Homo-oligomer: A and B are copies of this chain.
Amino acid sequence: MHLYGHPASGNVYKTQLILALTGRAYDLSPVKWGTPEIESPEFLALNPAGRVPVLDDAGFVLPESNAQLWYLAQGTRFWPEAVKDQAQVLRWLFWEQYSHEPYLAVIRYLRHYGAPGPETERRIAERTPGAEAALRLLEQHLAGRDWLVGDGCTIADLALYAYTHVAHEAGLPLDGHPAVRAWLARVEALPGFVPLAAYETAA
Contacts and interface: CB of A to CB of B under 8 A. Distances in A.
Interface stretch (A21-29, A96-104, A193-201): A96-104
Nearest to A138: B48
Interface string A76-97: 0000000110011011011101
A114 to B, nearest CB: 16
Contacts of A63: 91, 95
Interface residues of A, number: 31
B94 A66 contact: yes
A85 to B, nearest CB: 11
Contact of A49 (B87, B95, B102): B95
Interface of A: 48-49, 51, 60, 62-68, 70-71, 74, 83-84, 87-88, 90-91, 93-95, 97-99, 101-102, 137, 140-141
